[in-house]
Amino acid sequence: VPIASSTALLRDEDGRPIGGICSFRDLREGHAVPASQGQVRDFLGMVSKNHRMHEIFDLIETVAESDANVLIEGESGTGKELVARAIHRLSGRREKPFLGVNCASLNENLMESELFGHVRGAFTGAVKDRMGRFEMAEGGTLFLDEVSEIGPHLQAKLLRVVQEREYQRVGETRTRKADVRILSATNRRLKDLLASGSFRDDLYYRLNVVSIIPPPLRERKEDIPVLVDHFLDRSREHHGGLRRAFSPLAMRVLLEYSWPGNVRELENAVERARICSRREVIEESALPAEIRRRGRTTHGGARPAGGATGEPEEGKIREALSHSRGNRGDAAAQLGISRVTLWRRMKQLDVSG
């Protein structure tokens, strides 16, 4: 019987391994990773054919069954909140609230009140008692986005909640119990902040029982055509109209662009192009100027990355083959060329794979 396995290491508050979670799934089941390489998988709104994303989908299913705190690290726009919501939806807390708070949006004093609430008269402007996010999320999940931006004082209070499962409202002496699962996210390498002392190591290990790191879009470019179709289909469901598609040249520009804003930037570009184009086939001209300028290859004058012929060099071919785990169809899609062209260039350059 073909099976897929996924594992996650569990650590104590000092960072020492204390155990692990391992799950095994029959690949013949409908929700498991497809046995064939490169098959598209729609996982709770996250669409991908990339093997690393498939591994993350499996890890989400595994950790959702526990009540472990999870740290989601990755660049902006990689879908960290989608990961958090998926964990909540598959967990035993799914019927309770999922609440999020951006820890970079308020100063430390206001963030303390936002998280823990306050009582009347606790500070100027506190004219009545107010519940905090921990209280509002009781029984459910609290998502702390940009947790790296929390200051030292608030880190100490958060550590108490994580360790003791209790907290106090600002200005209150009464201790309240907290039954909340904490999922955290950051676009910084949180472990790098430990050495400088800007983030507590004891809090780090409490929040980082399980780590999930969604890859940036530039490292899974085979997903770009899949995501484009997904965004266009979703827009058609909401707004109606013709079934739309990008022209081959427009798609090639999308594949050549580096996507610093990741999936969020791609979604914005697709929506902008859909609105600016009245035709069934969306041309390159409908894309934002920044993407056209940086993503254009042979058409329109910019010199192609692989040389005057527009064909990719050996290093780019090897990189694409590595990212696609040897799948030539996916590698060709990443490079914006046909499989025949890829095969011919591999023979010319004596590249195996």
Residues 8 and 118 in one domain: yes
pLDDT tops 50 at residue 299 = no
Q: What is the mean pLDDT of residues 281-285?
A: 94
Looking at residue 333, which CATH number applies to its domain?
Answer: 1.10.10
Q: Which residues pair with 3 in a beta bridge?
A: 26
Residues 288 and 316 in one domain: no
Place of tokens 């909340």: 180
* DSSP symbols for 152-175: HHHHHHHHHHHHHSEE--BT----
Contact 349, 317 (CB under 8 A): yes
- What is d(CA 251, CA 38) in angstroms, rounded to the nearest whole number? 19
Could you tell me the pTM of the whole model?
A: 0.74
Residues 132 and 152 in one domain: yes
Pairing of strands 281-282, 166-167: unpaired
Residues 134 and 11 in one domain: yes
Rama region for 254: left / alpha / beta (φ>0; ψ in -120 to 50; rest): alpha
pLDDT tops 90 at residue 238 = no
Q: What is the mean pLDDT of residues 305-314?
A: 50
Q: Strand ranges (DSSP E) for the chain? A: 3-11, 17-26, 41-43, 46-48, 70-73, 98-102, 141-145, 166-167, 176-177, 181-186, 210-212, 245-246, 281-282
Residues 148 and 88 in one domain: yes
pLDDT tops 90 at residue 268 = yes
Give the list of residues 6+ apart from residue 214 with CB closer than 8 angstroms, or none. Answer: 53, 56, 72, 74, 78, 79, 80, 83
CB count in 10 Å sphere of residue 249? 17
Contact 141, 184 (CB under 8 A): no
pLDDT tops 90 at residue 118 = no
Q: What is the mean pLDDT of residues 67-85?
A: 97
Q: What pLDDT is attached to residue 327?
A: 80
Residues 192 and 271 in one domain: no
pLDDT tops 90 at residue 29 = no
DSSP 3-state of 186: strand
Q: What angle do CA 270, 308, 259 make, to 5 degrees?
A: 25
Q: How many domains does the chain have?
A: 3
Instruction: Choose between 302 and 333: higher pLDDT.
Output: 333
Residues 157 and 249 in one domain: no
Q: What angle do CA 255, 258, 262 make, to 5 degrees?
A: 95
Q: What is the mean pLDDT of residues 39-52?
A: 95
Looking at residue 253, which CATH number applies to its domain?
Answer: 1.10.8.60
User: Which structural domain, as residue segments, surrounds residue 53?
Assistant: 3-212
Mean confidence (pLDDT) of the chain? 85
Q: What is the pLDDT of residues 132-181, one digit of tens each?
A: 999 999 999 999 999 999 999 999 999 999 999 999 998 888 899 999 99
Band (pLDDT 50/70/90 cuts) for residue 218 is very high
DSSP, res 286: G
Band (pLDDT 50/70/90 cuts) for residue 203 is very high
| Last-in-domain residue among 265, 280, 302 | 302
Q: What pLDDT is attached to residue 304?
A: 37
Q: What pLDDT is attached to residue 8?
A: 58
Structure tokens at 323: 């990212």
Q: What pLDDT is attached to residue 312?
A: 57
Q: What pLDDT is attached to residue 6?
A: 52
Instruction: Choose between 121 and 74: higher pLDDT.
Output: 74
Contact 288, 313 (CB under 8 A): no
- Amino acid of residue 135: E
pLDDT tops 90 at residue 351 = no
Q: What pLDDT is attached to residue 4?
A: 47
Give the helix/strand (H/E) hosting 330. helix 328-335
Contact 2, 26 (CB under 8 A): yes
Looking at residue 180, which CATH number applies to its domain?
Answer: 3.40.50.300
Q: What pLDDT is attached to residue 36?
A: 40
Q: What pLDDT is attached to residue 314?
A: 76
Residues 206 and 266 in one domain: no
Burial profile 120-140: b = 16 or more Cβ within 10 angstroms, e = fewer: eebeeeeeeebebbbbebbeb
Residues 27 and 163 in one domain: yes
Residues 240 and 112 in one domain: no
Q: What pLDDT is attached to residue 52?
A: 96
Residues 291 and 330 in one domain: no
- Percent of the chain exceeding pLDDT 70 equals 84
Band (pLDDT 50/70/90 cuts) for residue 201 is very high
Band (pLDDT 50/70/90 cuts) for residue 32 is very low
Q: What is the mean pLDDT of residues 54-67?
A: 96
Residues 172 and 143 in one domain: yes
| Last-in-domain residue among 159, 190, 212 | 212
| Last-in-domain residue among 161, 193, 212 | 212
Place of tokens 């709104």: 45
Q: What pLDDT is attached to residue 35?
A: 40
